[in-house]
Chain A
Amino acid sequence: MNMSTVAIDLADVKKSFGDKVIVNELSFSVARGECFGLLGPNGAGKSTIARMLLGMIAPDAGKITVLNEPVPSRARVARVRIGVVPQFDNLELEFTVRENLLVFGRYFGMSAQEIEAVAPSLLEFARLENKADVRVSDLSGGMKRRLTLARALINDPHLLVMDEPTTGLDPHARHLIWERLRVLLARGKTILLTTHFMEEAERLCDRLCVLEGGCKIAEGRPDALIDEHIGCNVIEIYGGDPLQLRELIRPYARRIEVSGETLFCYAPHPEQVRVHLRGRANLRVLQRPPNLEDVFLRLTGREMEK
């Protein structure tokens, strides 16, 4: 890839805290205008990677380049063109919505006039135009997240780094954030997103990297990963003895995974499986298209923690 079209480049990055390896030999590249996801369970190293990209943690080994700047040595220069949405809100609770933008804009060296010039469009973008003079402590969780997003855009960044942007939000608020992020992608922004929501990753990401224990276990487009690793329908079965059921349907399935009390049956011809389960009381059978959850289960042998 040509460097001017690359927003983020990690090469063989390693990070340990004490003797615990957090990020292990990780390499990936994010093109400008792309939405790239880091997908993995809690403790996979996602937040550490996000902090390394911002220059807030130095890697033990490897090379990081963000917006053509070497990080962490020139991270401060790179951050001028980065917007950050952290995992936990760190807004100024006693300030109004408008004051939050003012104070944050000043950190980028913007004058009050410059900030006032962009604030209305940011508030409109965040659907907070009627809340400009409301104290942040009086906003709902979803509104606070949207204000954090508006705040991250005050310096008109090329790149947005978002650490679990919708964790803790109700489905309605989450969908609104997703819709806003798609608008940003349409405007040509680059987004790096960490998440443990498979649905979020599938909906938003052009490409993603699946992480476990600090290691990359897969990388690619969501649909390509699903095709490559699963490539057939999934039947979830629960309510019976999973081990006994597994023996029963084994001849008709390409692969079967047992996770807790649920049986995941990957079958090119699901009707064959269903025929053999018919008539069994208390058995719940759900047939659905494959998703990233199945990919994760396939690659790690376990379900992602929620």
Chain B
Amino acid sequence: MGEGYAAVMPANAYNWIAVWRRNFLAWRKVALASLLGNLADPITNLFGLGFGLGLIVGRVEGTSYIAFLAAGMVAISAMTSATFETLYAAFARMDAKRTWEAILFTQLTLGDIVLGELVWAASKSVLAGTAIGIVAAMLGYASWTSIVCAIPTVALTGLVFASLAMVVIALAPTYDYFVFYQSLILTPMVFLCGAVFPINQLPSSFQHFAGLLPLAHSVDLIRPVMLERGVGDAALHVGALCLYAVLPFFVSTVLFRRRLLR
């Protein structure tokens, strides 16, 4: 049995690149539309909430609300773009398009495919997160160097949420089930994790709970970097995110084995 699970893990350190390149080629054909779609939603939120609510809210944690929100928006867009890439695009490749099936005829393993999909989804997060960062920098709410410094965390956030979404698509019989994940897990996380308002506004029990959620760790890394403040507990946050990226990877690969290799 153990042998069976070993066989689905990544075969080597580079097989996944072929999967990433396949997705990149597909994306290149629709790059412009994809970029606009990726950007429109978070930028609308940034301006709508930032300017609108910002007028009422005034300053938050010693900075303007829109600067505070911009950092949260970078984290949220990293989360949503990796999530949606995995839930919809990767699910289609695994299910209806039979792309994964074709890849499994070659020398790649299921783990190679999942890893390639995760890195691809994280790449899209970097694209989306960086785009928001660039808008924030152009408006003077963040420095250009701080955007560059935030990229590794944005990438890690992408890996985390792609990895979690992998578990969802490994279990979901059809697209219809994704809505549960979106509305019961992701949307509450946006409000619990300090992305749009400071976490200390929440009752203390919620604050403790939020500390367990991946988006909170991601926000706690990205915001101080973008506001050029010292990052507290960096090792804890990075460690928690790594755990959230790695564990679901193994869980989803084992679940995919049960779903596809039978």
Contact = CB atoms under 8 A, between A and B. Distances in A.
A73 B261 contact: no
A17 B258 CA distance: 12
Contact of A56 (B18, B29, B98, B261): B261
Interface stretch (B103-111, B138-146, B170-178): B103-111
The A interface is mostly helix, strand or loop, or mixed, namely: loop
Interface residues of A, number: 32
Interface of A: 17, 54-58, 72-73, 75-77, 79-80, 82, 84, 86, 88, 90-95, 99, 103-104, 106-109, 152, 155
A108 B107 contact: yes
Contacts of B105: 54, 79, 82, 84, 86, 152
Interface of B: 3-4, 7, 11, 15, 18-19, 21-22, 25-26, 29, 97-99, 101-109, 260-262
B9 to A, nearest CB: 11
27 contacts: A54-B104, A56-B104, A56-B260, A57-B262, A72-B4, A73-B3, A75-B7, A76-B7, A79-B105, A79-B106, A79-B107, A80-B107, A86-B101, A90-B97, A90-B102, A92-B26, A92-B99, A95-B25, A103-B21, A103-B22, A103-B25, A107-B18, A107-B19, A107-B108, A109-B18, A109-B107, A155-B106
Nearest to B4: A58
Nearest to A84: B105
Contacts of B26: 92, 94-95
A104 B106 contact: yes
Nearest to B100: A90
A159 to B, nearest CB: 12
Contacts of A94: 26, 29
Contacts of A155: 106
Interface centre among B4, B19, B105, B109 (most CB of A within 10 A): B105
A73 B102 CA distance: 20
Given A72-B7, A76-B11, A84-B105, A57 B261 contact: yes
A106 B21 contact: yes
B7 A90 contact: no
A99 B11 CA distance: 25
Contacts of A73: 3, 7
